[in-house]
Amino acid sequence: MSEDSSSDSDSVDKHSQEWPASFDSLRSAKGFLQDCARSSKEQQTKTLLLPDKDADGLSASQIIYHALVALGHPPSLISVHFVTKGSNIHTANERTKINEHNAQFVIAVDQGSRGGPPLADGQNIRTMVIDHHWSEQFPKDALVLSAAKYPPVATSSALAYMLCKDLPGVGILKAKREYLLERLCIIGTIGDLGSTSQFEDLWPREDMKACVKKFKKKTLHDVVSLINAPRRTSKYDVDSAWNALMNSTPEEIVKASQTSSSEVKRLHEARAEIKVEIAKVSRSPPLFSGDGHVALVRVTSGAQVHPVIATRWANSLKSSKLRFVMCANDGYLPGMSNFSCRVAKCASQKPQATAPKSPRKTKLDIKDTADDTFNEDNQDDEVNIIESLIKYAARDPGLREAMGEDFARGHKQASGGIVQTEYFERLWKVMLESEPPPDADGSPARKRRKADETTPQKNTLDSWIKRA
C-alpha cells in the first residue's frame, strides 16, 4: 500500500489484506501441498515440479520442494523438469515430456500463465500453477495461486515463501538449515526486482533481516548473477543452477575454488561466457519508433542476452517521449526473433497526476546481470508494455493472430515474446510508421524522417558502461 493512501486505507491492518494472493487461493494451495505429501507417503505417488529457468523460478520451486519434504514427502518421489531452450510448458513436445514422468501431482512455478488444456494428461492428475505474471486465463482444471492482482506484486519466490513458511514441519526444517527458505526468497526477489530491491509494505521484511545480516546482500546478489548465468548460455544447462542452489550455501556458490562442486564451477564458467557475449553485442545502437515511444536494439546471439541488453538500455536512455526499450535477438532460435521489453527508467520517473508515489525503490545497476527486473514503482502509471505491444500489432490486420500465444507475455512492465522473424519485422514496421504525438501546445509534431533515413542513437551501451 502507498504511503500516500487515504486515511481509511491507512487504518486497515496490513495483515487483514489479501496478499500476496487471495486468502482462498492460499488456503487451497496449502491443502494441495498437504494432500500431495500425504498421498506420496501413503500411496507412493509421484510429484513433478516445473520451475521456470531464472533465479526467481528456481528459488520458488526449491521452497516448494523443501516444504514438501518437511511435510513428509519422500524426496525420491519428487522429480523436476526443465523445458528445452526457447520452449514452454504449454507446447505439445513439453506436454509429452511432462506425461512421461507419470506424476500424480504437477506443480508449475513462475512459468507464466495462459489458457489451454490441462498441464498433464490422465485421470485424477492434480495440477497447480504458482505464478505472478499477468494473465486472465489458466490451464484447464489447474488450481491457481497468482499474485498478479495483489499489489505490491510478489515475486514467485516471495509467494512460495508466504505459502509455505507456516506449514507443519517447516519450522523443524528452518532449525536444521538456517534461513534456508528466507535466503531462497531473497535470491528470487533480487533476481526479479533488482539488486537494490527492498522488502516494504506487506513484504515479509522482518523474516528477511536476520538472513541478509548473516549472508550479506552483496553475496546474495552475486548468487543471483551466478544462478542466472547457465540458462543464458547457448548450452542452456539450467540443471547446473538448480543443483548448485540445492546443494551449496551462498558463500560456497560465490567463492569458487578447486574444491568446489562441478555445478558451482560451471556457474562461474557460464557467467564468464555471458560477459564475453554481452561485450560482443553491447555496441549495437538503438533505433526509435515513429512516435518515439519505443527504442529497438537489435542483436544476433545464441545466448540469452536480450533481456540484459533491454534492461541496461532502459536504465540509461533518456527521452521525453520514450516509454520502453525492446531488444530483439534473431540468433537465439533459428528463424525466430526473441525479444525482451523493459519500461524506460525515464518514463517511470515522470510525475503522475493521480498515481501515488510508491515507497518501493527498485533499480538495477548498469553493471548488473539480473535481467528480469520489472519496476513495481511503475505498476500504476500509464506504461503497460503488454497493452502497448498488442495495440501496435492490431494496426496490421492479422498480425496479432499470426504471432500466436508467445507474443506479449510476462509482466506489464517487463514483457516480450518469441515470434517468427518475418512477423517481428512486420511489428517493427508498424512501430516505425507510427505517428509522433502532438507537441505539448497541441500543434502537430514535426514530420518524422523516412525509416531508411533514420539515424540511430550514437551512444552505445558499451560507452555507458565505461562511464559507470
What are the sequence ranges of the domains in the chain? Answer: 16-185, 228-280, 284-467
* Confidence at 12, pLDDT banded by 50, 70, 90: very low
Q: What DSSP element (H or E) covers 157?
A: helix 156-164
Q: Yes or no: say if 413 and 255 are a contact pair by the CB < 8 Å rule.
A: no
Dihedral Cα 387, 392, 397, 400, nearest 10 deg: -50
Q: Reduced to 3 states, what is the DSSP secondary structure of residue 126?
A: strand
* Confidence at 440, pLDDT banded by 50, 70, 90: low
* Confidence at 466, pLDDT banded by 50, 70, 90: very low
Q: What is residue 225's predicted lDDT score, i.e. its pLDDT?
A: 96
> Of the given ranges (72-76, 201-205, 322-326, 449-453), which has the lowest mean pLDDT?
449-453
Q: Which CATH architecture has domain 284-467?
A: Roll (3.10)
Q: Yes or no: say if 98 and 81 are a contact pair by the CB < 8 Å rule.
A: yes
Q: Which of 338, 339, 358 is nearest to 348 (CA)?
A: 358
Residue 468 has pLDDT above 60, yes or no: no
In percent, the amount of the chain with pLDDT more than 70 equals 81
* Confidence at 465, pLDDT banded by 50, 70, 90: very low
* Confidence at 284, pLDDT banded by 50, 70, 90: confident
CATH class (in words) of the domain with range 16-185: alpha beta
Residue 458 has pLDDT above 90, yes or no: no
Rg of the chain (C-alpha set): 22
Q: What DSSP element (H or E) covers 109?
A: strand 105-109
pTM of the model: 0.81
> Of the given ranges (234-248, 267-281, 286-300, 453-467), which has the lowest mean pLDDT?
453-467
Q: Yes or no: say if 336 and 420 are a contact pair by the CB < 8 Å rule.
A: yes
Per-residue pLDDT reduced to its tens digit, 118-157: 999 988 999 999 999 988 899 999 999 999 999 999 999 9
Q: Which of 372, 363, 361 is nearest to 345 (CA)?
A: 363
Backbone angles phi, psi at 163, to 5 degrees: -70, -40
Q: What is residue 8's predicted lDDT score, i.e. its pLDDT?
A: 38
Determine the residue type at 269. Answer: E
Q: 262-281 and 306-316 are packed helices; what angle lies between their axes, rounded to 10 degrees? A: 60
Per-residue cell: 60: 520458488
> Of the given ranges (10-14, 97-101, 364-368, 421-425), which has the lowest mean pLDDT?
364-368
Q: What mean pLDDT do residues 299-311 have?
A: 95
CA dist 236 → 79, 83, 250, 302 (Å): 19, 10, 22, 10
Query: What integer best gives the mean pLDDT of the chain?
Result: 85
Per-residue pLDDT reduced to its tens digit, 209-226: 889 999 998 999 999 999
Q: What is residue 202's predicted lDDT score, i.e. its pLDDT?
A: 79
Q: What is the DSSP letter of 12?
A: S
